[in-house]
Amino acid sequence: MEMAEEPANSGHSLPPVYIYSPEYVSICDSLTKVPKRASMVHSLIEAYALHKQMRL
């Protein structure tokens, strides 16, 4: 069995990225496989005050 190659940045994790735009959320909310998911995720981020910990 072959070993999988390690990613180029092994040992270093990149910070997560969050992109918000009302227009983008509206478009994503209209997807039939995941309806309203973008709005729900944004609401949870605001409810847990995670947006205050983000660097803009």
pLDDT-derived band at 17 (thresholds 50, 70, 90) equals confident
pLDDT-derived band at 44 (thresholds 50, 70, 90) equals very high
Q: What's the rounded Cα separation, in Å, for the pair 33 and 55?
A: 31
- pTM, to two decimals: 0.66
What's the pLDDT tens digit per position in 18-43? 899 999 999 999 999 999 999 999 99
Q: What's the rounded Cα separation, in Å, for the pair 9 and 53?
A: 24
> Token digits for 33?
């496989």
Q: Cα dihedral angle (30, 18, 43, 55), rounded to 10 degrees?
A: -150
For residue 53, the model assigns a pLDDT of 86
Kindly list the domain boundaries of the chain, sorted by start residue: 22-53
Average pLDDT of the segment spanning 7-24: 82
